Amino acid sequence: MREPKVEVGILFEPQIEFVLLGTYQLNGEELSGKQTATFNDGKILWKGRLYDELLFVPANERTDSFDLIDVTIGINFHWERKEDQRFLGALKIIVEGKKLTGINVIAIEDYLTSVISSEMSATASLELLKAHAVISRSWLLAQIQKTKEIADTHSNYSAYTETEEELIRWYDREDHTRFDVCADDHCQRYQGITRASTEIVEQAIAATRGQVLTSEGKICDARFSKCCGGAFEEFEYCWEDVKYPYLAKQRDSKTITELPDLRQEAEADKWIRTSPEAFCNTKDKKVLSQVLNNYDQETTDFYRWKVTYTQQELSELILKRSGVDYGQILDLIPIERGTSGRLVKLKIIGTNRTLTIGKELEIRRTLSTSHLYSSAFVVDKTEISNNIPGRFTLIGAGWGHGVGLCQIGAAVMGEQGYVYDEILLHYYIGANIERLYE
């Protein structure tokens, strides 16, 4: 296998302006300088002629670049704006709906250098960055395979089951069909070579070139989250009912391997209310700064955390977030937990109605204005009068879904001298690290 290329969907507009900074080829013709392609009656209008697809290939892949004018970044964020961006590799333009799609076709090691430079903190250790490089490469190559397999069928994993008593939903990425990945947070934020890459990231990419995680001959679904809370969650408790051998329960520790069965309520209660030893049980700012951006560092309480709502706050919040009018909230009852203690099903008992909701992300979205840190929580009710609690306190563990690599735990492992393959094989149990290409 040679180093594959990835097709990244960058912009979606009726008209695309771009500047070829080196010499590019299209159908044997040499081109450079400013160009404009326009959507026209289901085709691409360029230099007075209509095309179904355009592919501008650089004479020199490693040095020639092009600019895309007015790329929208931060889509749907408050800071959404346009900027000109610069890319290595080829530019492909296709028609989708009533717009043109500008796609960057680029060698995957170059793509990874860009995304990891912008996603990871510059203070991260080399071993942590190497572990992340292998995870990102695994995700990317699995994504490229999927795009080939699904071709034109649209696969969307926002699946759910619904009855009178129960609403169980989970959310997974919707795949792209005409390119492998997009340049936004939906996939991984990518801005080409607009900003300089980090030198230590270049080292981490080069040191792990071509390496991916595999299991039973397939590339692993290498999930990761901020902080597991001391124990790993299993895939089936967060998404579809599928078991992956390498995404299994385990304590996030090498010194203590004993782990209580956190699916049992009494065990989960004890686990969440205490602060058991684990790699991610840290408040060390130097370690946390490797994983979190500055905004996140304002709080260091996510191994164990606490959120308090008054009756009014909670009932209004749940109504606003779910659209279901429970009336006043009488109780929040754990029905099912996963292997990290995360709630898979939570019963909400109100004066108007009672409903069990799940899985973990649905619970987090329902009980917070943004996302609750995690669904691994226990509930204390206080100020009860006439059977109605005046105050609810949620005591919780971890941040994110807790499946696969725990970023804070991995940063601590890096600090403690573990090397990247030890880190990866701690979180992806029984997986292999294979080099797919030289």
Say whether residue 128 binds Zn ion (CB under 5 A).
no
Provide, rounded to whole angstroms, the least separation between the CB of residue 285 and Zn ion.
17
**50-72 burial, b for 16+ CB within 10 Å, e for fewer?**
ebeebbbebeeeeebbbbbbebb
Query: Which of the stretches 180-188, 196-204, 269-277, 297-305 binds Zn ion when contact is defined by CB under 5 A?
Result: 180-188
Query: Shortest gap between Cβ of 257 and Zn ion (angstroms)?
Result: 14
CA pair distance 310, 321, nearest whole angstrom: 16
3-state secondary structure 202-241: HHHHHHCCCEEEEECCEECCCCEECECCCECECHHHCCCC
CA 77 – CA 186 distance, rounded (Å):
12
410 lies in the binding site for Zn ion (CB under 5 A)? no
| From 280-288, 342-350, 413-421, 424-432, span contacting Zn ion (CB under 5 A) | 280-288
Q: Does 404 bind Zn ion (CB under 5 A)?
A: no
Q: What are the tokens at 270?
A: 């004890």
Using rule CB under 5 A, residue 412 touches Zn ion: no
Count CB neighbours of 156 within 10 A. Answer: 10
Q: Does 347 sit near Zn ion (CB under 5 A)?
A: no
- For residue 146, the minimal CB distance to Zn ion (Å) is 12
Residues that contact Zn ion, how many (by CB under 5 A): 8
Does 86 bind Zn ion (CB under 5 A)? Our answer is: no
Residue closer to Zn ion by CB (options 10, 357) is 10
List the structure tokens of 184.
């936004």
Determine, following the binding rule CB under 5 A, whether residue 99 of this chain makes contact with Zn ion: no
Residue-wise burial string across 238-248, b where 16 or more C-beta atoms lie within 10 A, e elsewhere: bbeeeebebbb
Cβ nearer to Zn ion, comparing 291 with 406:
406
406 binds Zn ion (CB under 5 A): yes
Region of residue 89 (phi > 0: left; psi between -120 and 50: alpha; otherwise: beta):
left
90, 133, 182, 238: which one binds Zn ion (CB under 5 A): 182
* Closest among 365, 305, 352, 344 to 324, alpha carbons compared: 352
Q: Tell the smallest beta-carbon distance from residue 121 to Zn ion (Å).
A: 18
CB closer to Zn ion, 200 vs 247: 247
- For the chain, what is the total number of helices (H) and then of strands (E)? 9, 24
> Which single residue is written with the structure tokens 């230099």?
47
Q: Which is nearer to Zn ion, 186 or 189 (CB)?
A: 186
Q: How far apart are CA 76 and CA 69, in angstroms?
A: 19
Given 112, 140, 167, 228, the residue binding Zn ion (CB under 5 A): 228
**Measured from the CB of residue 224, what is the shortest distance to Zn ion in angstroms?**
10
Q: Is there binding between residue 403 and Zn ion (CB under 5 A)?
A: no
Q: Which residues neighbour 421 within 8 Å (Cβ) at sequence distance 6 or greater?
A: 433
User: Does residue 146 belong to the site contacting Zn ion (CB under 5 A)?
Assistant: no
Select the residue interacting with Zn ion from 140, 280, 287, 410 (CB under 5 A): 280
Cβ proximity to Zn ion, 178 vs 270, nearer residue: 178
Q: Which one, of 286, 289, 400, lies nearest residue 340 by Cα?
A: 400
CB 408 to Zn ion: min, Å: 6
Instruction: Report the residue from 89, 400, 409, 414 that binds Zn ion according to the rule CB under 5 A.
Output: 409
Site string for Zn ion, 9-48 (x = CB under 5 A): ----------------------------------------
Nearest-angstrom CA–CA distance, 268 and 338? 10
CB of 11: closest distance to Zn ion in angstroms? 13
Q: How far apart are CA 203 and CA 193, in angstroms?
A: 17
For residue 355, count other CB atoms closer than 10 A to its CB. Answer: 18
Residue 373 Cβ, how far from Zn ion at the closest point, in Å?
Answer: 13
Question: What is the secondary structure of 95-124 as a DSSP string?
Answer: EETTEEEEEEEEEHHHHHHHHHHHHS-TT-
Task: Give least dist CB 399 to Zn ion, A.
Answer: 9
Interaction between residue 187 and Zn ion (CB under 5 A): yes
Q: Please list the alpha-helical segments (H only) found in 292-359.
A: 311-322
Q: Does 252 bind Zn ion (CB under 5 A)?
A: yes
Q: Which residues contribute to the site for Zn ion (CB under 5 A)?
A: 182, 186-187, 228, 252, 280, 406, 409
